[in-house]
Structure 1
Amino acid sequence: MLQTILKYSLLVLAALSFIYPFIWMLSASLSSESSLGELTLLPVDFTWNNYVTVFTKIPLDRAFLNSALVAVLTTGLVLLSGAMVGYALARLDFVGKNIIFYLIIFTMTLPFQITLIPNYITMVKLGWVDTYLALIVPFALNSLSVLLFRQAFQSLPQALIDAARIDGAGELRIIFQVLIPNIFPTVLTITILTFMGLWNEALWPLIVIRDESTMTMPQLVTLFSVGGRAEGQLGVKIAAAVMLAIPIVVLYLFFQKHFIRSMASSGLKD
């Protein structure tokens, strides 16, 4: 009994340590500027002025649509490309398959900053600067999605694929109509991780996008916070950060059961 109480007490403390900063951020965004120094969980001098100021000074609605468009389209491309490459590496036999797989794994160890300049030069050469293509194409293939799809496809019985081939199904139909429905938690995990990464990406948009009408939400919020439009008002900056975080929180709350199940069962095997 004592062990159980201790275990749950530690879990509660751990949960509070993670959730407290976000609760404080939400509370601070609804408090007056003079009350931000108080670390309370409830707003002090409740006000909506911080959010009104954010929407007044920057086109947050347009930036939200831009971020949603880029995140949804790119996530879709990541699912398509990751599923096809992962299937090829898991179920097809061809020369150099293992080398390609290990190269993909190697790219996961490289920080994005290493490829930043080559990618930017490529965008300039293609004339994609200040376009949605610069935000979508460089992220259309994701090595993590390839890895997770490969492992998920390897966990399925070969008889499932053989039966589909006997029925005359082609490789694409096998992937998207036969195998994908059987690895839904993995698909959902890749979707959430990819969407979160794209939604929060600020560095790359800051480099390739200069037109405000094409800016994403993280980029616009970053420029708003450090570029002077917030006029040094911390509460306004926090309100902008809350607006940026809400979609990700909502997405996770809806799909957390599938996400946790997939992460718990996605062991890696050769």
Structure 2
Amino acid sequence: MIVGSLQESPDPTPAGAFPDPSNLTLDNYVAIDERIDLLQGLLNSGIFTGGVLLGTVVFGVLAGYALAVLHWRGRGVTFALALLVQVVPFQLLMIPLYVLIARDYGLADSYLGMILPFAINSTAVIVFRQYFLQLPRELFDSAAVDGAGELRTLWSVALPLVRPVVLTVVLLTFIGPWNEFLWPFLITKEQSMQPLAVSLANYISNVAASAANPFGAVLAGAVVLAVPAVVLFIVFQRYFRTTNIGSGVKG
């Protein structure tokens, strides 16, 4: 993909997978940036994805902790509903959600309208619940004896022990909204607010054929879209390991 984005003339042969110094150029990046503004698209993607990540982690941790540690009536039913949500495809809910967000809430052409349907991720809730269930109960009992409330226990005792899974949820959640183009396209037609994935989809369907090298320009946009996800994985990959939660218990 990187080699193709740098080619002045497309080379569809197997040899085209390897860089040819005589056929390398940055004009493809310039061409697509002139059409869709890559930096603005990246900023919009960052706002959309950052809002989704914040909601996913905050609500996922709170709900997962409540389902795993706290005892309250209806906990089993709530967990069953969280599992049931997994079998409902998002595409089935898209039209009702659009009517709710755009017409009832009046959040069309807004970042909040793009973020709100993804703010709570049932998969993240289930993952956090399962990891919180693995923590020794003695840790929470000791915190209660010391006078810590539930929020203090969650922040000071539980979260440090499941930090790798928090980072894993962040990375896995990041990929979805970062590559999402259908829902933001429905919510806003303002090009200045559209994430990069939406701008690329519009470019491919509308104006790519008018570029000097449509193949290279599309690949250049794809490279820009992929780089943040690759960098995020490289930075946090060392944290994706099992935490030795048993070491927190004496004896």
Do these two structures clear the TM 0.5 threshold for a shared fold by scoring above it? Answer: yes
| Structure-2 residue corresponding to 1:9 | none
Contact conserved, 1:57 with 1:229, CA < 8 A, in 2?
no
- The match for 2:238 among 257, 261, 265 is 257
Mean Cα displacement is larger for which, 222-231 or 63-72?
Answer: 222-231
Contact conserved, 1:75 with 1:140, CA < 8 A, in 2?
yes
In the alignment, does 2:7 pair up with 1:31?
yes
Change (3 A) 1:197 1:245: same
TM-score under structure 2 normalisation?
0.90
Deviation at 1:34, TM superposition (A): 3.8
Identity, % of aligned pairs?
Answer: 37
| Structure-2 residue corresponding to 1:117 | 95
Deviations 1:58-84 (A, max 9, x none): 121111111112212220121110011
CA RMSD of superposed structures (Å)? 1.8
In the alignment, does 2:30 pair up with 1:52?
yes
| Structure-2 residue corresponding to 1:219 | 198
| Structure-2 residue corresponding to 1:236 | 217
Which secondary structure state, in structure 1, belongs to the residue aligned with residue 18 of structure 2?
A: coil
Task: Work out which structure has the larger RCO, using CA pairs closer than 8 Å and 6 or more positions apart in sequence.
Answer: 2
Contact conserved, 1:224 with 1:230, CA < 8 A, in 2?
no
Aligned residues: 239
| Structure-2 residue corresponding to 1:158 | 137
Contact conserved, 1:36 with 1:235, CA < 8 A, in 2?
no
Deviation at 1:92, TM superposition (A): 1.4
- The letter for the 2-side match of 1:115 is L
Supply the distance in 2 between the matched residues of 1:166 and 1:123 (Cα, whole angstroms): 45
Supply the distance in 1 between the matched residues of 2:100 and 2:242 (Cα, whole angstroms): 36
| Structure-1 residue corresponding to 2:181 | 202
Q: Which runs of 5+ in 2 are unaligned?
A: 246-251
TM-score under structure 1 normalisation?
0.84
Change (3 A) 1:41 1:262: farther
Q: Which runs of 5+ in 1 are unaligned?
A: 1-24, 266-270
| Structure-1 residue corresponding to 2:45 | 67
- The letter for the 1-side match of 2:16 is T
| Structure-2 residue corresponding to 1:41 | 17
- The letter for the 2-side match of 1:43 is P
Supply the distance in 2 between the matched residues of 1:235 and 1:34 (Cα, whole angstroms): 7
Deviation at 1:37, TM superposition (A): 4.4
Deviations 1:179-219 (A, max 9, x none): 00111111011110111111111111111111111111111
Contact conserved, 2:10 with 2:216, CA < 8 A, in 1?
no
Deviation at 1:91, TM superposition (A): 1.1
